Structure 1
Amino acid sequence: MTKTQHFIFILVEDFAHLAFSNAVEPLRIANHIRGEELYTFSLGAEDGQSVRASNATVTLVDHGLDNLPRCDRLFVLSGLQMRNRITPALLAMLRRERTRGTNIGALCSGAYILAKAGFLNGQKCAIHWDYHDSFMEEFPEIPLVRNVFVADEKNITASGGSATADLMLHLIERDHGRDLAVAVADQMVYTAVREATAEQRVSLQSRNGMRNPHLTKAIARMQDHIEDPISPSIIAEDIGISTRQLERLFGRYLNTSPKKYFMELRLERARHLLLQTEMSVTEIACACGFEATGHFTRVYKGAYGVTPTAQKAKLG
């Protein structure tokens, strides 16, 4: 008989319920299909009683953080405001489990917690795309990838949502073969199972119905130069077209100009950093390619109707 594997999911206040469901249901379905207990799982939280998800539902748990049983895998699952949910007790539990030799992973925004604990140095990791900007600013030494999950490192990570199901199906296939993983996906009516290397966000081509490689390359160049913006003429030269051609492409496909689109990318990055980090307005302005804080403030207010300083004050 196959050895039963036990997973523990540590649920952090405001955890993402979608990621939670996509984590536990593939395990339950695998047991159902095979008619045996391939996997068991239990839940943990700081108070050892219950924990609230970001959708306001409350989940009862089996363990506190100081009395965890032995397990084959432990996953930290968080969601919104994960920075404010990191406690000494949570970090102590993770370090204790690492000392015990437990396989530790993270789901959704949980990679941030593992990074804070010092677990991810030198490892590739995945986190929900909404946290990419702030994660890269805070942990520049950690090679963050845009993949849906990373399963070939000591600490495996998934970016949340349906990516969690992709990871679980990957583990089921690794443990019990592809046929079972496909059968579980079929039961979930999940027909678009992704490999680890798939990107989280819908590609620009898919989102806009575009198939123009020049436009895709131009936007990639912009994304690479948020901190040190380059002009549309340099972008056009880099990708081998004229500035006029570049203007026409942005007008045709995106109904905007290259200059305006680039500014929107920089402001979107700035907004993420304002909402998700403790960086000062001056630091954020610099990180998004604005030489003067006053100019950044005017442009940001024009786009979002509030100054960067007021935006941060709302969070306080």
Structure 2
Amino acid sequence: MNGSEIFKVGFLIFPGFPMACLTSIIEPLRAANEIAGVEVFDWDVVSESGARTISSARVAFEPDARLADVGDVSLLFVLGAPTSAFEDARQGNGALRRLDRHGVTLGAISGGVFALARAGLIEGHRCSVHWCYETAFRDAFPHIEMTGDVITVDRRRITVSGAASAFDLALQLIEDRLGAHMAHEVACWFQHATMRGHGVQQRIPMRPSAAPDLPPLVARAVALFAAHMEQPISVAEVAAQLQVTPRQVERAFKKATGQSPTHYYRSMRMKAARQLVLYSKQSMSHIAQAVGYTSATPLLTHYRAAFGVNPQEDRRQINSFRVQGNVPLPPA
């Protein structure tokens, strides 16, 4: 691309947006301008009303404009929490649709994908969703195709899973405008070791003591468990599908994870339940059904055993970190 024209990016921030995601994409663009000695990239931070907006880190930002006045950007990213919503949904969603009609590429970073989906602007597109929001997103938007990639580009939609991925995307924008050498120099400035692109899967951080990979038999069993959250599958059924005995499954799980397959499966279901507790406003009965319980009673028991608090207490605790009703997001 021609680097002589300024490429302008907009960032729509909701209260409680992840500050790390914003700075991770702006700072590489700023550095590229500095190294190039010319303004190649420009950006505006905008909010629904143009009012001062507080991030998840409780740092306040003064937007450059209100959303309704934005019109000169080539690319606009939405940054927010899974529960972020416009105060005036009709006008806010209408402003996003107007930008789309005028050819602006729309995107979202981390939890911002929820707001973009609520606006109906990811219909028929694939999108990246941070791994810790997968269950909540699938529950809210079961018809939208979700990927575990760090970055997904589908026509005029760009979705990014988190802050580290936002840095990777900034490097791609720099490479597109100024070439691979400049992208490499910017990466070196920030000691950013690897530039990840489309098709690269997110990696879930693991404790140092955790095994980095599961044996094939266990991995296949885990995949079956993951596919049967709402309608649980028994260990015997898993064994039958894998053409082994239940005893073989038991031994393989004990050796690889230190847990029985039943306890491992329950842990998976509790982690999924916690996503819905923290990142949705669903009732406990709905959450229980989403992870395979016929009522909320056993969910409450297993949830407390797993996390030391019941779901309602957990939701109240995260509320103490919310800003104007929104949940802070993970930075990466």
Once the two structures are TM-superposed, the CA of residue 307 in structure 1 deviates from its matched residue by 4.2
CA distance in 2, matches of 1:67, 1:140: 33
Once the two structures are TM-superposed, the CA of residue 194 in structure 1 deviates from its matched residue by 1.4
CA distance in 2, matches of 1:274, 1:77: 21
Match of 2:111?
Answer: 109
Within-5 A mapping of 1:62-73: 62-73=64-75
Once the two structures are TM-superposed, the CA of residue 198 in structure 1 deviates from its matched residue by 1.7
Q: 1:166 to 1:241 in 2, by over 3 A?
A: farther
CA distance in 2, matches of 1:8, 1:232: 50
Q: 1:18 to 1:312 in 2, by over 3 A?
A: closer
Once the two structures are TM-superposed, the CA of residue 203 in structure 1 deviates from its matched residue by 7.4
The structure showing larger relative contact order (alpha-carbon pairs under 8 Å, at least 6 residues apart) is 2
Match of 2:175?
Answer: 173
Structure 1 residue ranges without an equivalent (≥5)? none
8 Å contact from structure 1 (residues 29, 184) kept in 2: yes
Q: C-alpha offsets along residues 36-90 of structure 1, whole Å, 9 cap, x if unaligned?
A: 22111121123424321101111222112232241111111113xx424432243
Could you tell me which amino acid in structure 2 is paired with residue 229 of structure 1? Answer: P
Once the two structures are TM-superposed, the CA of residue 280 in structure 1 deviates from its matched residue by 2.5
Within-5 A mapping of 1:162-241: 162-202=164-204, 208-210=211-213, 212-241=215-244
CA distance in 1, matches of 2:108, 2:166: 10
Could you tell me which amino acid in structure 1 is paired with residue 86 of structure 2? Answer: I
Please, what TM-score do these two structures have when normalized by structure 2? 0.86
Counterpart selection for 2:127 from 122, 125, 137: 125
Match of 1:147?
Answer: 149
Q: 1:60 to 1:292 in 2, by over 3 A?
A: closer
CA distance in 1, matches of 2:242, 2:195: 33
Within-5 A mapping of 1:9-48: 9-48=11-50
Q: 1:18 to 1:281 in 2, by over 3 A?
A: same
Give secondary structure in 1 for the equivalent of 2:126: coil
CA distance in 1, matches of 2:86, 2:26: 23
8 Å contact from structure 2 (residues 110, 130) kept in 1: yes
Give secondary structure in 1 for the equivalent of 2:254: helix
RMSD of aligned C-alpha atoms? 2.4
CA distance in 1, matches of 2:51, 2:283: 38
Please, what TM-score do these two structures have when normalized by structure 1? 0.90
8 Å contact from structure 1 (residues 151, 167) kept in 2: no
Could you tell me which amino acid in structure 2 is paired with residue 285 of structure 1? Answer: A
Q: C-alpha offsets along residues 252-293 of structure 1, whole Å, 9 cap, x if unaligned?
A: 222111000101111111122122223232222221111343
Give secondary structure in 2 for the equivalent of 1:41: strand
Q: 1:265 to 1:57 in 2, by over 3 A?
A: same
CA distance in 2, matches of 1:132, 1:290: 19
- Identity percentage of aligned residues: 29
8 Å contact from structure 1 (residues 205, 211) kept in 2: no
CA distance in 2, matches of 1:43, 1:170: 20
Q: C-alpha offsets along residues 1-52 of structure 1, whole Å, 9 cap, x if unaligned?
A: 6211111111211111111111101211222222222111121123424321
8 Å contact from structure 2 (residues 84, 115) kept in 1: no
Q: C-alpha offsets along residues 89-115 of structure 1, whole Å, 9 cap, x if unaligned?
A: 432321232233222111111111110
Could you tell me which amino acid in structure 2 is paired with residue 232 of structure 1? Answer: V
8 Å contact from structure 1 (residues 125, 150) kept in 2: yes
